[in-house]
Structure 1
């Protein structure tokens, strides 16, 4: 008998699950149906700011596999189709074609929820006006580029970016590259709240040097419109900020409305909870038979804090999709969790973190010690060596590494991967200190900046 798998969501997690299952089981064993409300599949949403900024030429450059390519591989993919209801008892889903309104029920043996996340867009005056853009999907990017093309040369034009997280700082760079005068408005004391404030201050200083006006501690409350109905300013809790264009970077929330309506249990961040094989759990922690979930709609276990977090990244989504697809094909693959690694940049300034911040470590009930050092990306005498700052966080009693944060010039950011591996391996600060990292003057000082920070932190831990 042919088993039927239905997947809701055609991007990273959903199509990874479908593709992995199809590689392992042919159409004579496994029928795969995917419903995707948009028209694109398997694309890099993380690349949209660089497309908008002109660093990537075409939207097609961000697409890993088109709907036609998926269909050619034996996946019954329905784009422009929204799933509106889950019947978990009857093992069926109700879908609606957006173009025609036609609805139908589809039965399944196994169901994969990969509904992703939705951008936060407050219901505030003016936030739905033309010229106010979110940047979450390829159509969002197209709409913003259309606005840029319609308004003509950017000379003298002003853009306000609302939100100081990853998307906010990346879109500030994109608007700067497009020639706009840029203001970043955010409600936290420093941009990049995923960093500790002392590292966030370095990001602010770097952005100001680039000519970006950074307005901290300011919560946007209204987009003021001109006679044309388009933005003329953003009003925040600290004043008005002139703008012909507004970009929202206020984060995302799990798109879990379908799951909630079906009675499934959600975590404290609003995402679905799963076991290590990505099988959905109920409120008592028992597996829901025939139900899987992955990507931005789930909460994942943080390997350092032991807590469940909502961390919306394509890296996790693709791995979780791979795990689901392998398990659907009868294998036994597990997703162990994450350490919270992330990286971005603003022009030449690279920003990265992994593990816990001071605030997160305190919330997890840990006693911690930190050390911060200023170092160089290469040997100081080598051309193009630039400064970088490293901050390490460790548990006071066990001496294990808890977190790493980096801010610096080109060559700084990818060092975060050493920290990520160290955290996954539960290394102590002393063990990190004696790691055999590569050295040559074009790549690093003789003491790599992470090891300099580890040496300083070890001195504090061991007295």
Structure 2
């Protein structure tokens, strides 16, 4: 007798889980039904800024697998259908057809929750005005492009200066807009320490992006027709023909909360290493709706990234399909860019280390992406944190031009392996003048961190 797997969410984690389970178990053994409230499946939300900015030619290039392709592979994917309730005792979910307005129940033997995250929206007057856009889904990207096409002028305000904020600032700049970024914090990129954030701030100003720190939005002002005309802070008004929200996301766990499933301090679902929801036998969860183990601090974190979602989906699908897999945790690696400025981080910031009760040293070095004499050598700044007593690597941040960001991968591997900074200095990294100085910038930082650990006793 076949079992039924129900998946809530048709993007990275949900459809990776469904696809992997289907590879392991055929339709005669496992019936798979997936619900997606949008029109699209298995797409790259991370690519939306580059589609808006013109680097990606069209929407469909961001879609890895369409609903029709999933159906052809034996997955009954229902789009424009929103799950409104999870009945754990009855092992069923209630879903609403958004086109028809009808509701029905679907039973399950196994359930995957992959409801993603929802954007934070400032709770201020006018935030729902025409011309104000989030960029969480492909539908959001379409709406923003339509709004840009009909905008009465070429002034854009981006609210928030995290990854999405700086990427959308670049996209709008590329489209010929005059861009202002309003940031609640003092410096852009709160995922970096403030001293590294200042480098990003200076570079953005140099690119022609006006970046205003310590400026939380108090109101969105509108014209007589209801469209946005300006964004107000307590100190000023900033004219805007379009506004993009880059204020971060929170786990979308309203269904899970209502069902009584366990949530962590950040509002995300809590799972074991197999991605099974804690305390549940037949319920799994993955993607932006879960919290994950930080391998450096040992604490649970909410880290909404497509890389994790896809890996977690594979783990879930393997376990649902009768195999076995685990997701060990993360070290918090992320890269981004704004125009030609590359930004990367992995591990802990100084704030994170203090909150985890760790004593640490921090060092910063200036270097270049290539041998200094080789054409195209670009400056980069590397900051490194190490545990004071043991010398264990705790975190790395990098800001620079071409060739900077992906160097963080060396540090990510070192963090996962729990290497010390002294051990890192012996890493046999590739060298040639077109690619690196004799001492790679990450290794220069490691050497300086070794000296700081020794000086600290």
Q: State the TM-score, normalized to the length of structure 1.
A: 0.97
Matches within 5 A, 1:52-451: 52-151=52-151, 157-281=154-278, 287-451=279-443
CA distance in structure 1 between the aligned counterparts of 2:161 and 2:77, rounded to whole angstroms: 36
Q: Can you list the C-alpha shifts for 1:334-383, whole angstroms capped at 9, x where unaligned?
A: 00000000000000000000000000000000001011000000011111
Q: Can you list the C-alpha shifts for 1:400-430, whole angstroms capped at 9, x where unaligned?
A: 0000000000100000100100000000000
Offset, 1:306: 0.4
CA contact (8 A) 2:350 2:385 kept: yes
Q: In structure 1, the residue corresponding to 2:282 is in which secondary structure?
A: strand
CA contact (8 A) 2:9 2:36 kept: yes
Offset, 1:236: 0.9
- Give the length in aligned residue pairs: 455
Q: Can you list the C-alpha shifts for 1:236-293, whole angstroms capped at 9, x where unaligned?
A: 1231111111110010010000001111121010000000000001xxxxx3121000
Offset, 1:228: 2.5
Structure 2 stretches lacking a partner, 5+ long: none
CA distance in structure 2 between the aligned counterparts of 1:90 and 1:289, rounded to whole angstroms: 14
Offset, 1:230: 1.3
Equivalent residue number for residue 454 of structure 2: 462
CA contact (8 A) 2:333 2:344 kept: yes
Offset, 1:433: 1.0
CA contact (8 A) 2:183 2:215 kept: yes
Q: In structure 1, the residue corresponding to 2:281 is in which secondary structure?
A: strand
CA distance in structure 2 between the aligned counterparts of 1:151 and 1:407, rounded to whole angstroms: 34
CA distance in structure 2 between the aligned counterparts of 1:32 and 1:10, rounded to whole angstroms: 12
Q: In structure 1, the residue corresponding to 2:319 is in which secondary structure?
A: helix
Q: Can you list the C-alpha shifts for 1:17-70, whole angstroms capped at 9, x where unaligned?
A: 000000111111111110010010000000000000011110000000000000
CA distance in structure 1 between the aligned counterparts of 2:149 and 2:87, rounded to whole angstroms: 45
Which of structure 1's runs of 4+ aligned residues deviate more than 4 A?
none
Q: Can you list the C-alpha shifts for 1:87-131, whole angstroms capped at 9, x where unaligned?
A: 101100011100001111111000000000001113321110010
CA distance in structure 1 between the aligned counterparts of 2:28 and 2:40, rounded to whole angstroms: 27
CA distance in structure 2 between the aligned counterparts of 1:412 and 1:245, rounded to whole angstroms: 32
Q: State the TM-score, normalized to the length of structure 2.
A: 0.99
CA distance in structure 2 between the aligned counterparts of 1:54 and 1:213, rounded to whole angstroms: 21
